[in-house]
Amino acid sequence: MFVTKAMKTHRVLGSKIALVSAVSLSLAAGAAAVAAPAQAAGTERPSISSQASSLFITGRITADKPYEAGSPASGPKSVAYAGRVFIPSRGLVQVKQERWERDQWPDRDDYLGTSYFSKYLPYGGTFTFKGTHVLKRTDFGFWDRTEEVYQKVSYRVYKNGHWSPWSSSVYSSTAIILR
């Protein structure tokens, strides 16, 4: 049997079409297989360790009133923001501390920054944290010579391979610092 050039072209073209069809079908099947778990994952709630989540029942965090940490003669004043967190059993504790300056309505409070503190407590207990920061000037009125600062803190615990959710935020009292 003689194979002509036209028959060879037809076979090659048919082979290419079959290959493209097979690749397309496998890609479509792979995409469907990948998409199904992604859709299911969106409806499920992430699981956390029951031990890690139960720490919020007995753990607690305290935010101390900020205080003036130092007033160098030739530099800006510093403010210390301190607090404590207690957990009853071992775990890695992470604290999120937000610093704010209080304003009167209708003005919003001024955001001054965020700090994170971490410590591993092998037997549980209390972790004391403190951040010292330069007093920022946020009020520019002629008669306003004070900054009213406070902090907002929360914590979470890493235990048994899972992070617990952040605790409810705790606010400190407002300190009035003279510039």
pLDDT tens digits, 15-32: 565 555 555 555 555 554
The answer on 109 and 127 residing in a single domain is yes
Please identify which residue in the block is written with the tokens 């404590």. Answer: 84
- Compute the distance between CA of residue 57 and CA of residue 79 in angstroms, rounded to an integer: 32
Q: Which domain holds residue 7?
A: 1-44
Examine residue 106 and say whether the peptide bond preceding it is cis (omega within 30 degrees of 0): yes
- Compute the distance between CA of residue 14 and CA of residue 7 in angstroms, rounded to an integer: 10
- Compute the distance between CA of residue 116 and CA of residue 159 in angstroms, rounded to an integer: 18
The answer on 160 and 121 residing in a single domain is yes
The answer on 39 and 55 residing in a single domain is no
pLDDT tens for 26-81 read 555 555 444 444 444 444 443 333 444 454 446 899 999 999 987 667 678 899 99
Single-letter amino acid code for the residue at 120: Y
Q: How many domains does the chain have?
A: 2
The answer on 82 and 23 residing in a single domain is no
The answer on 10 and 90 residing in a single domain is no
> Are the CB atoms for 83 and 61 separated by under 8 Å?
yes
